[in-house]
Amino acid sequence: MADGEEEKGGTELNPMLLVEAALFSAARPVSEEELSGSTGIEKGLVKLYVKKLMNRYRRMDSSLEVIKAGRKYSLQLRREYVKGVSKLAAPEVPQKVLKTAALIAYHQPVKQSELVDMYGAKVYDHVKELHDLGLIRTRRDGSTKVITTTQRFAESFGIDGVTKKRIRQFIRKHALFGSKEGATLMDFETSDEEEPDPPEDGRDEEEGPEESPEGDPEGEDDPVSRDDT
């Protein structure tokens, strides 16, 4: 269905709202390719409509937002409203591992022994749990492990970008300036193009669960930057 697609009855559907409908219907972050495939709208136009939706949700008084999560997009609840509905929406990631996850995200690539030093022996269990959830990957380095986040990590926590720099920036802002101020600061800085992470030496010994096939390999430059203008 191209721009200006007509319904059977002859009513013309708004392509931007069609993209919104696709984002709403998908129970996960979706890539431009998936949006294009499901709506029939050309990929370039999908990108344009997503940006329009982002701005629209930002302007309107809503508990929802359209964000770039990793290399995908999602229509999700604003983080300040998440706590208020936590009893209705059971989290996939247990609350107890979130601090360990944040430490990994900020310090990555980080040795497991350093994490234990920061946060205690419970890190061992948390690392295993995060690995099982596909949020981190580990690589053996001597007697310890070096831990980094996966693309799914950014998607699960609604982080705009998959590079270590971008994720670190996200954690830093929210840790230093709180959720609201941090989010605002992130919004102002999102016009920066993501720089790819330099390739790491060695291969992951323990890979996390398979990432979505449509995702680009982690570390590559993301051609789409978030345009918040």
Q: Identify the CA nearest to 149 among candidates 165, 166, 161, 137.
A: 137
Closer to another protein by Cβ: residue 86 or 221: 86
Q: Which of 5, 114, 129, 204 binds another protein (CB under 8 A)?
A: 114
List binders of another protein among 14-43 (CB under 8 A). Answer: 24-29
List the structure tokens of 104.
Answer: 């990994």
- Residue 142 CB, nearest approach to another protein (Å): 6
State yes or no: residue 117 binds another protein (CB under 8 A): yes
- Residue 141 CB, nearest approach to another protein (Å): 10
Positive or negative, the CA dihedral 92, 95, 101, 105 is positive
| Largest separation between any pair of C-alpha atoms in the chain | 67
Q: Which of 31, 126, 146, 158 binds another protein (CB under 8 A)?
A: 158
Q: Which of 35, 45, 46, 101 binds another protein (CB under 8 A)?
A: 101
State yes or no: residue 142 binds another protein (CB under 8 A): yes
State yes or no: residue 89 binds another protein (CB under 8 A): yes
Closer to another protein by Cβ: residue 51 or 174: 174
List binders of another protein among 172-201 (CB under 8 A). Answer: 172, 174-176, 179
- DSSP string over 199-217: PPSS--SB--SPPPTTSPP
Mark the segment that binds another protein (CB under 8 A) among 39-47, 51-59, 87-95, 206-214: 87-95
In whole angstroms, what separates CA 222 from the centre of its chain? 13
State yes or no: residue 105 binds another protein (CB under 8 A): yes
Rounded to the nearest 10°, the torsion over CA 153, 156, 160, 162 is 20
Q: For residues 198 and 175, what is the distance between their CA atoms, to the nearest angstrom? A: 25
Q: For residues 212 and 97, what is the distance between their CA atoms, to the nearest angstrom? A: 23
CB 150 within 8 A of CB 132: no
Q: Which of 4, 6, 58, 91 binds another protein (CB under 8 A)?
A: 91
Mark the segment that binds another protein (CB under 8 A) among 34-42, 115-123, 205-213, 220-228: 115-123
State yes or no: residue 221 binds another protein (CB under 8 A): no
Burial of 9 (0-12, 13-18, 19+ CB in 10 A): exposed
CB 165 within 8 A of CB 171: no
Interface ranges with another protein (CB under 8 A):
24-29, 69, 74-77, 79, 82-83, 85, 89, 91-93, 95, 98-99, 101-103, 105-107, 112-114, 116-119, 121, 124, 142-144, 155-158, 171-172, 174-176, 179
